[in-house]
Amino acid sequence: MHASFKPIFKLSTLTLSLLSATAYANQADPVNLPAVEVTGQSGTVATVTENSNEYTIPAMSTATGMKLTDKETPQATSVITNQRIKDQKLNTVTDVMQQTNGVFVSAIDRGRSSFYARGFQIDKYQVDGLNVTFDNQWISGENLENLIIYDHVEVVRGASGLTSGNGDPSARVNLIRKHADSKTRRTAIEAGYGRWNQYSASIDHTQPLNAEGSVRGRIIASRNGGKSFVDFEKSSQNILYGIIDADIGDKTRLSFGTSYRQNNQDSYMWGGLPLAFSDGTQTDWPRSKTTSTKWSYWDSTNSNYFVDLSHRFNNDWQVALKADHSRSSGKSKLAYMYGSVDKTTGLGYGIGFGRYEPLRKESNVQISIDGRYPLFGRKHELFLGGQFGRNYNTAVGYPYQSGAATENFYTWSGNMAEPDWGASTVPYTSTAHDRGLFAATRLNITDRLGVVAGMRLANYKRERSYYGIDTSYRSGNIWLPYGGLTFDINNNHTVYASYTDSFKTQYQLDVNGQTLDPTRGKNYEAGLKSSYFNDRLQSQLSVFRVEQDNLAQRDGTNTVIGMPAGTAVYYNAKGVRTHGYEIELNGRLTPQWNISAGFTSARGKDASGSQVNTNVPMRQFKLYTTYDFSNRFAGLTVGGGVNWQSGRYYDGVAPLSGKISESSYALVNLMARYRVNKQLSAQVNVDNLFDKKHYNEFSSNQVNYGTPRNIRASVRYEF
């Protein structure tokens, strides 16, 4: 066993031992936690975590569309609740992904990130169950989306073609918006300040709009910004969110709202720092080093409009209509460093420039019916409906006419002159239509045995033009089956097994500029789920196997014929097999003690036995816990955690020969919160306590460093 893995394994074993001890305490001397009842219309469970102070959720629908408890869901699930977001001050989608069990975050540059689960990239996202697109090539700040407008984040690991169609068997991320649920007037004001002059300020106000409180409104406004540990870099973000929730009679509910996000990033580093010197030795730059110029920037805006209408016919059946439209745009002027640096002179690299103005318009509509029906003397759940999505992308580019000569990179000042830009072109356009019909049911065969079965009929088409090369793809009708079994051993423990298909269209190009064929996959999973203390403490152990064909893999350092320099070539790997296991624990060990802990292991190989995605760590451990000391020190809560990952490597990197690797490492975080009274509280968070220098990303020729030690303080006032 790898030496660096031993303490993590022991810590994971200790966590499971704590779980066993807690279960024993539950049997011998029950712990009576305060009840948290959150109900919606007709007494149905509402999946809301705000003001619950919990690290768990009663039910979620991301896996199957049906609102099922964790033990009723035959897949591995995770949730980052509102309390967890507050405790760790998780400000962005990237922050949440870094703390989610089984998810690995790899930075592309200083604004874009890729997320991985079970060895594969997470490529589809949802907001309130509707598919949305995060396209890193033409992104408009989605990775930096502020979590202030979301109640919680649901994650289902493995394939989820039933609810989302096209996508990898990695994980599905579902962002759940906040609503105007309070019938009394409530306001929260918060301000924060951190290292590198980073600041934040927000106001969140909810109030009834009529005497009965049947119509309610909520508005959230936020501003944050400041510098960073990277030279010259500055950023700011403005958020405005508004929603109205209306109860139309006893059975109908209407929600509609809008959000606006504006990101400004100055001296944006496009790509990363050189990974190797020209003599083949590996570089080790200061973390503040940048390849950006002082005139570089990448700004973006996003406007979103949404509506959710539901009608309950009776206690068993309801129909829902959801619609969402977003418009995302960006403007950028960027400098890109390529090649390697001479260790003596600091010269030898090249500089390319880019000026782009991308635009994306995306619309999604879903209609569904869900309810309970009788069969053979028992009640069963049913969910069926259809979803339609249209995604239009275009990008305007400005080729540069001339560029300045390179300078000694050791003394890089960011003062390189801006190039002369040529006339605008349209290097990229794409229109995609995603249609799906779906149906799922949970059959309660006995008091202990449940069967989940479903099917999605997916149809996907795309027209694309990329630097003059036109491609089109039509999937035809693709059937994606879903099946699962759950069996309750007793009131605390449930075993499960599931199977589902997956397919994913690909944008990567072969050496001739042709789009690769879509991947097809099969996902097998089995596990044990347990719960204690009225489901306020939950654990799960899962094992999985993924079989995939046509998985895009980088073809060395080759570039596409007829494309701009640096356009990577990919090939379809055959017979990719990934297997692994996951352990997770979430909830309350005692009424004062919240905990989230998880260990994951995943390894993938192609038909030749070669490991795939070697730049993704095979093993990860994540722990975060808080303890409320109010019984001894009124108002004090203290917490902390550790994120550990195993070593990883990138093979065949030029000019280096052999592997570039990063050893395993751990990051430690701390927090403390003091509640002065019911209205006022103050909090301090320390991230990367021991100031560990690590890679956020490393690839064939570039590297990005993770954030050094950071200290953040905030004050919150509620009234």
pLDDT, tens only, 312-342: 999 999 999 999 999 999 999 999 998 889 9
Q: What is the pLDDT of residues 579-604, one digit of tens each?
A: 999 999 999 999 999 999 999 999 98
Q: What is the pLDDT of residue 615?
A: 86
Tokens of 603: 């390894």
Q: What is the pLDDT of residue 244?
A: 98
132 within domain boundaries: no
155 within domain boundaries: no
Q: What is the pLDDT of residue 46?
A: 54
How far is C-alpha 164 from the chain's CA centre?
Answer: 15
DSSP letter for each residue of 603-638? EEE-TTS-BS-TTS-SEEEEEEEEEE-TTTSTTEEE
Tokens of 698: 């490393």
689 within domain boundaries: yes
Q: What is the pLDDT of residue 50?
A: 93
Strands 648-651 and 636-645: what pairing? unpaired
437-441, 657-661, 675-679: range with lowest mean pLDDT: 657-661
Q: What is the pLDDT of residue 2?
A: 40
Q: Which residue has the higher pLDDT, 233 or 547?
A: 233
Q: What is the pLDDT of residue 656?
A: 67
53 within domain boundaries: no
Cα distance between residue 113 and residue 106, in whole Å: 6
The answer on pLDDT for 467 being more than 50 is yes
What Rg, from alpha-carbon coordinates, does the chain have? 25
495 bridge partner residues = 487, 528
User: What single-letter amino acid sits at 173?
Assistant: V
26-40, 494-508, 519-533, 640-654: range with lowest mean pLDDT: 26-40
Distances (CA, A) of 522 to 200, 245, 581, 696: 44, 40, 16, 31
Q: How many domains does the chain have?
A: 1
Q: What is the pLDDT of residue 20?
A: 42
577 within domain boundaries: yes
Q: What is the pLDDT of residue 5?
A: 35
Cα distance between residue 585 and residue 16, in whole Å: 8
Q: What is the pLDDT of residue 305?
A: 98
Distances (CA, A) of 376 to 444, 445, 448, 454: 10, 9, 16, 20
72 within domain boundaries: no
CATH of residue 299's domain is 2.40.170.20
35-44, 47-56, 372-381: range with lowest mean pLDDT: 35-44
Taking the CA atoms of 259, 265, 270 and 271 in sequence, report the sign of the dihedral they define: negative
Cα distance between residue 701 and residue 647, in whole Å: 18
Q: What is the pLDDT of residues 486-509, one digit of tens each?
A: 999 999 999 999 999 888 877 777
Per the confidence metrics, is the pTM higher than 0.75? yes
Q: What is the pLDDT of residues 230-264, one digit of tens each?
A: 999 999 999 999 999 999 999 999 999 999 999 99
Tokens of 712: 């953040």
How confident is residue 519, by pLDDT bands cut at 50, 70 and 90?
confident
Q: What is the pLDDT of residues 2-45, one digit of tens each?
A: 433 333 334 343 344 434 434 434 433 333 333 333 333 333 44
Q: Which residue has the tokens 């619609």?
A: 323
User: What single-letter amino acid sits at 88?
Assistant: Q
How confident is residue 638, by pLDDT bands cut at 50, 70 and 90?
very high
Cα distance between residue 54 and residue 82, in whole Å: 8
Half-sphere exposure at residue 601, Cβ-oriented, CA atoms within 13 angstroms? 9
Count of C-beta atoms within a 10 Å radius of residue 376? 8
Cα distance between residue 515 and residue 529, in whole Å: 41
Tokens of 429: 């356009």
C-beta separation of 76 from 156 below 8 A: yes
Average pLDDT over residues 48-73: 93
282-291, 393-402, 660-669: range with lowest mean pLDDT: 393-402
Taking the CA atoms of 500, 505, 507 and 512 in sequence, report the sign of the dihedral they define: positive
Q: Which of 40-54, 56-70, 130-144 has the highest mean pLDDT?
A: 56-70
The answer on pLDDT for 527 being more than 90 is yes
Query: Which run of H or of E encompasses 483?
Result: strand 469-488
Report the 3 state secondary structure along 203-263: EEEEEECCCCCCEEEEEEEEEEEEECCCCCCEEEEEEEEEEEEEEECCCEEEEEEEEEEEE
52-66, 472-486, 542-556: range with lowest mean pLDDT: 542-556
346 within domain boundaries: yes
Q: Which of 84-88, 276-280, 560-564 has the highest mean pLDDT?
A: 84-88
The span from the first CA to the last CA of the chain, in angstroms, equals 54
677 within domain boundaries: yes
The answer on pLDDT for 577 being more than 80 is yes
Q: What is the pLDDT of residue 57?
A: 94
Q: What is the pLDDT of residue 40?
A: 36
Q: What is the pLDDT of residue 281?
A: 85
Share of the chain above pLDDT 90, in %: 67
Mean pLDDT, all residues of the chain: 88
Q: Which domain holds residue 410?
A: 3-41+181-718
The answer on pLDDT for 386 being more than 90 is yes
Q: What is the pLDDT of residue 144?
A: 86
Q: What is the pLDDT of residue 19?
A: 40
Average pLDDT over residues 265-293: 92
Q: What is the pLDDT of residue 597?
A: 98
DSSP letter for each residue of 371-411? EEEEETTEEEEEEEEEEEEEEEEEEEE--EEE-PPP--GGG
How confident is residue 700, by pLDDT bands cut at 50, 70 and 90?
low
Q: What is the pLDDT of residue 633?
A: 92
Q: What is the pLDDT of residue 571?
A: 82
Q: What is the pLDDT of residue 13?
A: 39
Give the phi and the psi of residue 82 in degrees, each rounded to 5: -65, -35
Q: What is the pLDDT of residue 29?
A: 36
Cα distance between residue 300 and residue 391, in whole Å: 18
Q: What is the pLDDT of residue 18?
A: 39
Q: What is the pLDDT of residue 4?
A: 39
Q: What is the pLDDT of residue 472?
A: 84
C-beta separation of 146 from 224 below 8 A: yes
Q: What is the pLDDT of residue 34?
A: 36
260 bridge partner residues = 240, 303
Q: What is the pLDDT of residue 138?
A: 74
